[in-house]
Amino acid sequence: MSHVFQWRVAAGEPSGPRAGLLATPHGAVETPAFIPVGTKAAVKGVRPETLRQAGVQIILANTYHLALRPGADVIRLLGGLHAVMGWDGPILTDSGGFQVFSLAALRRVTHDGVMFRNHIDGAEMTLTPESAVAAQNELGADIIMALDVCPPYPCPREEAAEAVRLTLGWAARARAAHGRPDQALWAIVQGGVEADLRRCCAGELVAMDFPGYAIGGVSVGEGHERLCEVVGLTAPLLPADRPRYLMGVGEPRDVVASVAAGVDLFDCVLPTRNGRNALAFTFGGPMRLRNERHKTDRRPIEEDCDCPACRRFSRGALRHLFAAGEMLGPILVTIHNLRFFVRFFGRLRQAICEARFRAEAEGLLDRYYGSD
């Protein structure tokens, strides 16, 4: 790992729940940690200062979307992604590989890369392992990802095997193309739900000696049990002395199972997307604020939460804001949800440090899911 990046496990087990510290050029991240998604260089409706106040340590932006608009070169000329986002902490950019899955109807995958008919005006855009690295070099994030192929679930074994073959070849090409010592290039393990493909992909990527590894291709419809199987198999295959990142996962029971398997970093749109749609996360389970029963409820979303929504607004007031179409409602519930995720991950980390992870995890899940 580059001298500007350092990783150490502070407590826990090499192949089990662990608390770590990831140092980057823009600050350190205590893990396990949640990464809010700022796809187009903004976490929707939330100021950088508010993210900091909520306890957010690191944020994510999307290479595909930013390469389209305004362009990676424009962001470089504006001072880089940190300047454009107004954020002085660590930033991670994904490679655009998830769009291979999410924009399947608009793309064609070849040995060289991915050709998209972009979703804005239909013009052609090609991402290769080299151009994805070059774009992320211009964006200037601290952690960047190698281009990969994320297959859907379910998919034929042959399709999952081809995704692994391309992902491995593209990882080697990305590694050769990357030259910025102030950015860490991480690789992504694919393989669908096929255990042997996951082992093969992880083994070959580990042999390439990346400074960090991600587990991709989950949370694409396979369900909780299969997600747990894939993560439980894959995480121990990755070096204990490198950070492990699970892409696109935020459901609390998925998080707990993955932390138990040794995963350190997570990103997901759940807190922000659901916040914009009046669903609040609480330690007692999700709360749908549009429900009639909240109309005259003077209690906060959560009594012991210290976010702005809970300190100054009632459930009834928030319900009114959504019913009236006022943008303050989505903003406040988004902030609350981000604070919930920070607190949730903080409790997991503290429990690991105090050697009581299993009991804490069981208590959190029992309270969140109740009799579900």
Residue 347 CA, chain-centre distance (Å), reads 19
Residue 31 CA, chain-centre distance (Å), reads 13
- The count of other CB atoms within 10 Å of the CB of residue 369 is 13
| Lookup: tokens for 252 | 């609390």
**What is the C-alpha separation between 207 and 220, in angstroms, rounded?**
27
Candidate list 142, 148, 264, 267, residue with the active-site label:
267
| 267 tagged catalytic | yes
Q: Are strands 124-127 and 114-117 parallel, antiparallel or unpaired?
A: antiparallel
- Is 360:351 a contact under the CB 8 Å cutoff? yes
**What is the C-alpha separation between 244 and 189, in angstroms, rounded?**
10
**What is the C-alpha separation between 221 and 154, in angstroms, rounded?**
8
Select from 236, 237, 241 the least CA-distant residue to 212. 241
Secondary structure E strands in the chain: 6-12, 18-24, 27-31, 33-36, 59-62, 91-94, 107-109, 114-117, 124-127, 143-145, 184-189, 213-215, 244-246, 265-268, 279-280, 287-288
Select from 25, 21, 36 the least CA-distant residue to 2. 25
Contacts 24+ apart (CB under 8 A), 317-324: 318/278, 318/289, 318/294, 319/278, 319/289, 319/290, 319/291, 319/294, 319/295, 322/278, 322/289, 322/290, 323/290
Candidate list 73, 88, 94, 196, residue with the active-site label:
94
| Lookup: tokens for 242 | 């490198």
Q: Which residues are catalytic?
A: 94, 267
